[in-house]
Amino acid sequence: MNTAIKIYKFLKRCFKRFAPRRVSLLVEQYKIGIKYVISGGTAAVVDLGLLFLLTEIAGIWYLLSAVIAFICSLFTAFLLHKFWTFREHSLHRITKQFVFFTLVALFNLGLNTLLLYLAVEVWHVWYLAAQFVIMGALAFMNFVINKTVTFRHENKDGKNILIATGIFPPDIGGPATYTKILSEELPKLGWEVKVVTYSDEDIKTLKHKNIKTNDAAVFQISRKQHIFLRYFQYFWQVLKLLNWANIVYAQGPVSEGLPTYWACKLRGRKYVLKVVGDYAWEQMQVSRKQENKKTEKQGFISLDEFQNKKFDARTERKRRIEILVARNADKVIVPSQYLKKIVKGWGVQENKINVIYNAVEFKSIPPILKPTNERWLVSVGRLVPWKGMDTLIDIMPSLIRSEPALKLIIIGEGPEQEKLKIKSEKLKIEGQIKMLGRLGHEQTLAYIKAADVFVLNTGYEGLSHVLVETLYLGTPVVTTNVGGNPEVIKNGINGLLVEYNNQTQLKEAILRLLNSQELARQFVLAGRQDLTKFSQKKMIADAIAVINY
């Protein structure tokens, strides 16, 4: 063995010394591919040589000789690829690697036979030409699999985190903001960050676009393609980056979580998952394709109800996916105790679930100018069925009778927008309703700051950023006693809690705050007392404690 190594090193030195520089550079650039071809060729020589020796010299039955020769060539190819081609010298995974290598080889054998049969019998291609093309394609496929999976180099030391997200700036939304904060703050603490995300740009544009923020490399997958293609591309990108990453942190259980699960499962790697809601429930509410026919509240089914009922096949498929991904995660991060209860109900072990409140960037925002003769009731949210904006419009005629100067200001956009406009026109109060659409973050906060009362009539909330921001801005709050809201608003202490869509309770709570400046002042003072748990510093520290396991 030592003699062979010495000969190899001698030949290598001779080549570097006497080969033209251009040739030497090309060989260096493509050395892994060249080694791969040499290793494969050596294994083929071993196979054919042993077949000849065992059959012609030793007199062994040719089929038995073929089996022995195949096994020996398989060992030869495996050892050469592992220790020479890809230089992966670890021994603790060698058994698993050999089993996987063998399975891939057997799969290729079957695939080669199938493709050769189709090429010759169906497409009428000359068998030698067909075999040549098929062998080339399978060799390339094997090379990719062996490089990225079988003989991958594990990076177990260091602080390299791969964040798998569905949206990233310039996209707007909670996960985009959260991921951006991580990508900016973790490098300050010695971490290197890479991000995989979906993008609205088309495939051709992304092929020529390599994005790198000041702190993180960002790999984009176009949404403008079939779901199976984009999921596969996402999976493949995560799979490639697993060679680099110590930790994978997926920001959701479906569009980013499922490809991450596949990649980590294939590579035997662990991942951390963040769950900010129930994707299957949210999609069902938007599509309104419930098979269970309507409950009382205009077809609304609460998240708690959803956990114990069966729905249409598409919804149940999404539910199975998110449960599969959550159960297989090594750690799960949720932003509220309420969501911890939901995820625990999915069958995830309680000791794997960690509650980390999302950070809120507290800014001193001046209020927007408001006419002195108006009082404002402000609500912010995506215009989807469970946000209850239609109920706020329903109670406005009654509120206006008590407070004629009251205006309802709705900030946000979504599929319910046109329906809400029609409702306000039917009630003949369109002059008292201002639907501003989606505004910038600071402009939204300026409206909240100017409001007399902020109301959030929501049927579900994991943990609302806007409630925390409203407490900091000093605007009294009325919201529902659902989801994570009671973890932010303590009824009668720093705000008022009511039942979702309960018109009587909503009207009473809003009028109570409009008519009592002293109560509103007490709530504002109390609301600013306990905001440290929502600080960015605490969120980052808690997240690192979980992901750095």
Ordered strands of the 477-480 beta sheet:
433-437, 406-411, 375-380, 453-456, 477-480, 496-498
Q: How far is CA 512 from CA 453, 506, 519, in A?
A: 10, 10, 8
Q: pLDDT at residue 52 above 70?
A: yes
pLDDT tops 80 at residue 391: yes
Give 192-224 pLDDT, tens digit per residue: 999 999 998 766 565 545 565 556 899 999 998
Q: Among 455, 461, 482, 500, which Cα is nearest to 295's?
A: 500
Reduced DSSP (H G I as helix, E B as strand, rest coil) percent helix, strand, coil of the chain, to 5: 55, 10, 30
DSSP 386: G
Given a contact cutoff of 8 angstroms between Cβ atoms, the answer to whether 398 and 431 are in contact is no
Q: Please state the rounded mean pLDDT for residues 437-448.
A: 91
Distance of CA 296 to the CA centre of its chain: 34
Domain 375-530, second-level architecture: 3-Layer(aba) Sandwich (3.40)
When pLDDT is averaged across residues 496-505 and rounded to a whole number, the result is 96
pLDDT of residue 155 exceeding 90, the answer is no
Q: What's this model's pTM, rounded to 2 decimal places?
A: 0.72
Q: Is 208 helix (H, G, I), strand (E, B) or coil?
A: coil
Domain ranges within the chain, ordered by starting residue: 17-150, 160-355, 375-530
What pLDDT, on a 0 to 100 scale, did the predictor assign at position 289? 40
Q: How confident is the model at residue 127 (pLDDT cuts 50, 70, 90)?
A: confident
Taking phi over 0 as left and psi of -120 to 50 as alpha, with beta for the rest, 337 belongs to: alpha
Structure tokens that stand for 78 in this block: 């495996």
pLDDT tops 60 at residue 435: yes
What the block records as the tokens of 130 is 């067909």
Per the CB < 8 A criterion, the answer to whether 334 and 546 are in contact is no
Would strands 211-212 and 216-222 be described as parallel, antiparallel, or unpaired? Answer: antiparallel
Given CA atoms 437, 438, 440, 442 in this order, what sign does their dihedral have?
Answer: positive
pLDDT: which is higher, 204 or 391: 391
Strand order in the sheet with 353-355: 211-212, 216-222, 192-199, 160-164, 247-250, 272-274, 331-334, 353-355
DSSP secondary structure string for all residues of 43-100: HHHHHHHHHHIIIIIS---HHHHHHHHHHHHHHHHHHHIIIIIS----STTHHHHHHH
Predicted pLDDT of residue 53: 92
Instruction: Calculate the alpha carbon distances from 294 to 25, 131, 297, 298 in Å.
Output: 70, 60, 8, 7
Q: According to the model, what pLDDT value does residue 306 have?
A: 92
Q: How confident is the model at residue 146 (pLDDT cuts 50, 70, 90)?
A: confident
**Residues in the chain, overall count:** 549
pLDDT at 112: 82
Q: What is the pLDDT of residues 236-258, one digit of tens each?
A: 999 989 988 989 999 999 999 99
Rounded Cα distance between 99 and 96, Å, is: 5
Report the percent of the chain where pLDDT is more than 90: 49
- Give tens-digit pLDDT for 305-338: 899 899 999 999 999 999 999 999 999 999 999 9
* CA 174 to each of CA 180, 249, 542: distance values in angstroms, whole numbers, following the listed order: 10, 16, 18
- Tell me the β-bridge partners of 212: 217
Type of residue found at 148 = T
Find residue 217's DSSP bridge partners.
194, 212
Tell me how far apart the 2 most distant CA atoms of the chain are, in Å: 107
Calculate the CA dihedral of residues 370, 371, 376, 379 and round it to 10 degrees.
-40
pLDDT band at 545 (very low <50, low <70, confident <90, very high): very high
Select from 389, 523, 387, 390 the least CA-distant residue to 452.
523
- Domain 160-355, CATH among 1.10.357.140, 3.90.550.10, 2.60.120.1060, 3.40.50.2000: 3.40.50.2000
- Burial readout 268-300 (b: 16 or more C-beta within 10 A, e: otherwise): ebebbbbbbbbbbbbebbeeeebeeeeeebeeb
Which DSSP letter does residue 35 get?
H
CA angle, 351 then 354 then 357, to 5°: 160
Alpha carbon distance 264, 240 (integer Å): 11
Q: How far apart are CA 511 and CA 527, in angstroms?
A: 19
pLDDT over 70 at 11, yes or no? no
Query: What mean pLDDT comes out for the span 434-457?
Result: 93
Q: Band the pLDDT of 291: cuts 50, 70, 90.
A: very low
DSSP calls for 460-507: --SS-HHHHHHHHHT--EEEESSTTGGGT--BTTTBEEE-TT-HHHHH
Say how far apart CA 314 and CA 325 lie, in whole Å: 17
Question: Which H or E run contains 249?
Answer: strand 247-250
Q: What pLDDT was estimated at residue 290?
A: 40
The CB-based long-range contact list for 275-278 (8 Å cut-off, 24+ gap) reads 275/322, 275/326, 275/332, 275/333, 275/334, 275/339, 275/342, 275/343, 276/174, 276/175, 276/252, 276/334, 276/335, 276/339, 276/462, 277/339, 277/460, 277/462, 278/303, 278/306, 278/307, 278/322, 278/342
- Kindly tell me the burial class for residue 452, based on how many C-beta atoms sit within 10 Å of its own C-beta (0-12, 13-18, 19 or more): buried
Q: How many helices (H) and strands (E) does the chain have?
A: 21, 14
pLDDT greater than 90 at residue 263:
yes
CA 246 to chain CA centroid, Å, is: 17
**CA 285 to chain CA centroid, nearest Å:** 21
| pLDDT reported for residue 97 | 87
Considering the chain, what is the average pLDDT of its residues? 87
